[in-house]
Structure 1
Amino acid sequence: MTQQDLTDYASDSDDSSTAQYIPDTCIGFDVTADFAHFRKVGNNSAKPSYRVPPRTTVAGLLAGIMGMSRDSYYDLFSPSSSAVAVVPKQLPHTYTMGITTVNTNEAAIQYLPLEKDWWDGAEMLTPESYLEHWDKPGRQDLMETPRQRDTYEMLVDPVYRVYVSLADEDVHDDLRERLENSRYHYSPVLGLSECIADIRNVDTHTVESATTNAVDSAAYDDSAVVPSPGVTVKRERAPLYMEATDGGRKTTAFGNITYATGDDRLPVDASRAHAAGDHEVILY
């Protein structure tokens, strides 16, 4: 969008300019994959993707690398104890892909006996409830019935530069060591578990204030974005922060992932910009 009033879709997060954790140093690394998919909230059957991973997705990626259990790391990645910035080094083009999904509920999965197997001698881990047998003499053909085929918007060859810092120094150091030595508890992925990611160019950078009015990174809360003539800006509504609940988790704030297209940089309020590594970014 160009020259559109940013208050039309104002973020409902807290004032991040005052609640923000600003570190002295941060970890920087490149992450890429053949495909990525970051499913947009509010969509079920057709699954469009964010072009830039939401902050919650980045937190989940890093928590998985450190082996943290689901819903256990939200305080660690709160705005007062962490800082994250994502630079889309190469905005990906998209490809629509049909993917057949099956239920992975542990209670539904069991080994399919060999005598029922389509391929003689091969033991398969298959939910028996998904299989329907043709009742014909001499045949044990299997027909898959309740599987669901969904349309996914996949990102092709995405490349992002991630900058992250954690206020907990022990966890921060553990994350840096794991990234530097490719010692991941869970394999890093970009969205879907099938989208195995490659992490490289890990380094530690000094974080300094910058005086620029345009940055290389995306913004997760568009309060810092200042529309500029001739610069096309796109925005996508996404979760920003979460907290654990008795039943799992809930989103505590939404933001607008905002980024410039083409060769343009994102125009911002200069007071919110910081320099890290080879880029000028906004930290969240």
Structure 2
Amino acid sequence: MAIAFNIAGPIAMYRRPYTTTSSVSFPLPPPSAVAGLLAGIVGLGNGSHEESCASEYWEEIKGTRIAIAILNPISWYTGTVNFWNLKEPQKSPHIRVKHQFVKNPKYRIYVHGGVEKELRRHLEAGTFIYTPCLGTAYALAEIEYLGYFDIQPVTENKINLSSVLPLLPEHTIEIDIIASKGVFRDKLPFRLTPQRALAENITTLYSASVEGKICLTAWEGLDVTYFGDECIAWFPSW
């Protein structure tokens, strides 16, 4: 059994780590951001009251695995954020910096194992311990709980993925590019340490079109299941 929920909002911002003040966003929530979202919903503490860079919920979220699907077309919006100028306030009390946001994002998150049971309880009751957001605290999110479903094994030799595809070195993947109508590739942060340092990245593939699916003609080593009538690929467990 596994659970699924949709998360959406007017904007999202998942900052790429190589950008500083002028932030550029990933097009979808990295697994590391989804881990923080799940921890916030169920109320796992991060220990930041004792150490600012602490991220202790990574110990409690072990054994959880997720899948991610993109439901709205990826479109971008550039806005200006007004910051306090702490370095040279005598010159100007504020500095205005451009930020790139995902416009009208909507994603589907699938969760299995680990915090699944506690997460289900909170989603069914609508009791979020911390306010869910799409990356930054001001990108507030609406969550729609979809339910608790059986996951079924996949036996076909050719499949159409509804979700993002995690690509690991041990996978043997063959993609029908014409049937998939194109795919994008991105490297996302996958897991952090309890000190909030990057522990692991993961390469992902996703369809160039929301209506399109990634058509796989070979998928040896990939963890795929049917979730209702959707074929999804699971990220490794944390």
What TM-score bracket applies, with the shorter chain setting the length? 0.7 to 0.9
The secondary structure found in structure 1 opposite 2:234 is: coil
User: What TM-score results when the alignment is normalised by the length of structure 1?
Assistant: 0.69
Q: Which of the two has higher C-alpha Rg?
A: 1
Q: For 2:207 and 2:196, locate their aligned partners in 1 and report how far apart those are by CA, in whole Å.
A: 31
Given candidates 137, 157, 164, the residue that maps to 1:218 is 164
Q: Does 1:96 align with 2:48?
A: no
Given candidates 143, 146, 152, the residue that maps to 1:199 is 143
Q: 1:194 Cα shift?
A: 0.7
Q: 1:166 Cα shift?
A: 2.5
Residue 34 of structure 1 corresponds to which residue in structure 2? 10
Q: Does 1:283 align with 2:234?
A: yes
Given candidates 191, 196, 212, the residue that maps to 1:264 is 212
Q: 1:131 Cα shift?
A: 5.8
Q: For 2:88 and 2:41, locate their aligned partners in 1 and report how far apart those are by CA, in whole Å.
A: 33
Residue 31 of structure 2 corresponds to which residue in structure 1? 55
Tell whether the 8 Å contact from 1:37 to 1:50 is kept in structure 2 after alignment.
yes
Q: Does 1:186 align with 2:130?
A: yes
Q: Does 1:72 align with 2:56?
A: yes
Q: Which amino acid counterpart does residue 58 of structure 2 have in structure 1?
A: Y
Structure 1 stretches of 5 or more lacking a match?
Answer: 1-24, 104-126, 133-142
The secondary structure found in structure 1 opposite 2:193 is: strand
Q: Which amino acid counterpart does residue 50 of structure 1 have in structure 2?
A: F
Tell whether the 8 Å contact from 1:41 to 1:238 is kept in structure 2 after alignment.
no
Q: For 1:236 and 1:35, locate their aligned partners in 2 and report how far apart those are by CA, in whole Å.
A: 20
Q: 1:186 Cα shift?
A: 0.7
Q: For 2:26 and 2:167, locate their aligned partners in 1 and report how far apart those are by CA, in whole Å.
A: 15
Tell whether the 8 Å contact from 1:214 to 1:266 is kept in structure 2 after alignment.
yes
Given candidates 181, 187, 197, the residue that maps to 1:237 is 187
Residue 162 of structure 1 corresponds to which residue in structure 2? 109
Q: For 1:221 and 1:83, locate their aligned partners in 2 and report how far apart those are by CA, in whole Å.
A: 15
Q: Which amino acid counterpart does residue 202 of structure 1 have in structure 2?
A: L
Residue 49 of structure 2 corresponds to which residue in structure 1? none
Q: For 1:91 and 1:53, locate their aligned partners in 2 and report how far apart those are by CA, in whole Å.
A: 14
User: What TM-score results when the alignment is normalised by the length of structure 2?
Assistant: 0.82
Of structures 1 and 2, the one scoring higher in RCO (CA 8 A, sep 6+) is: 1
Structure 2 stretches of 5 or more lacking a match?
Answer: 47-54
Q: For 1:47 and 1:203, locate their aligned partners in 2 and report how far apart those are by CA, in whole Å.
A: 35
Q: For 1:205 and 1:172, locate their aligned partners in 2 and report how far apart those are by CA, in whole Å.
A: 12
CA 1:35–1:163: 2 relative to 1, 3 Å = same
Residue 124 of structure 1 corresponds to which residue in structure 2? none
What is the aligned length?
217
Q: For 2:88 and 2:198, locate their aligned partners in 1 and report how far apart those are by CA, in whole Å.
A: 34
Q: Which amino acid counterpart does residue 225 of structure 2 have in structure 1?
A: H
